Amino acid sequence: MLEFKNYKELMSKLSDEKVCREAMEQWRWDGEPFCPHCNGTKPYKLKDGKTYRCREKTCRKDFTVTVGTVFENSKIPLSTWMAAMFVITAHKKGISSLQLARDLGCTQKTAWFILHRIRYIMDEPNPEPLDNIVELDETYTGGKFANMNRARRKKYQDLGIDNKTAVMGFVEREGKGRLTVIGDNTFKDMVRKNVKKEAIVITDQHTGYKGLDAEYAAHLSVNHSVMQFRDGIAYTNSVEGFFSCLKRSIIGIYHQVSAKHLQQYCNETSYRYNTRKITDKDRFTQTMCNVEGRLKYKNLIKS
Ligand SMILES: [Zn+2]
**pLDDT tens digits for range 106-145:** 999 999 989 988 988 888 877 899 999 999 998 877 545 5
With cut-offs at 50, 70 and 90, classify the pLDDT of residue 148. low
25 CA to middle of ligand 1, Å?
Answer: 17
Q: What amino acid is encoded at 83 in this protein?
A: A
70 CA to middle of ligand 1, Å?
Answer: 19
| Residues facing 166 on adjacent strands | 140
219 CA to middle of ligand 1, Å?
Answer: 52
* pLDDT, position 248: 81
More confident residue, 158 or 119: 119
DSSP string covering 96-135: -HHHHHHHHTS-HHHHHHHHHHHHHTT--SSPPPB-SEEE
Q: Is the pLDDT of residue 93 over 80?
A: yes
249 CA to middle of ligand 1, Å?
Answer: 42
235 CA to middle of ligand 1, Å?
Answer: 53
127-138 pLDDT, tens digit each: 899 999 999 998
61 CA to middle of ligand 1, Å?
Answer: 6
121 CA to middle of ligand 1, Å?
Answer: 24
What average pLDDT does this structure show over 81-88? 94
174 CA to middle of ligand 1, Å?
Answer: 43
* pLDDT, position 7: 87
* pLDDT, position 171: 96
Are the C-beta atoms of 96 and 164 separated by less than 8 Å? no
36 CA to middle of ligand 1, Å?
Answer: 7
187-225 pLDDT, tens digit each: 999 999 999 999 999 998 888 999 999 999 999 988 766
Are the C-beta atoms of 170 and 135 separated by less than 8 Å? yes
Burial class (CB in 10 A: 0-12, 13-18, 19+), 30: exposed
With cut-offs at 50, 70 and 90, classify the pLDDT of residue 163. very low
Q: What is the rounded distance in angstroms from the CA atom of residue 72 to the CA atom of residue 209?
A: 44
More confident residue, 167 or 154: 167
Question: In this structure, what is the dihedral angle of CA atoms 108, 109, 110, 111, given to the nearest 10 degrees?
Answer: 40
* pLDDT, position 105: 93
More confident residue, 229 or 19: 19
* pLDDT, position 3: 82
Q: 3-class DSSP state for residue 209?
A: helix
289 CA to middle of ligand 1, Å?
Answer: 21
110 CA to middle of ligand 1, Å?
Answer: 31
26 CA to middle of ligand 1, Å?
Answer: 19
229-287 pLDDT, tens digit each: 556 788 888 999 898 888 888 766 666 666 667 888 899 999 999 999 999 999 998 88
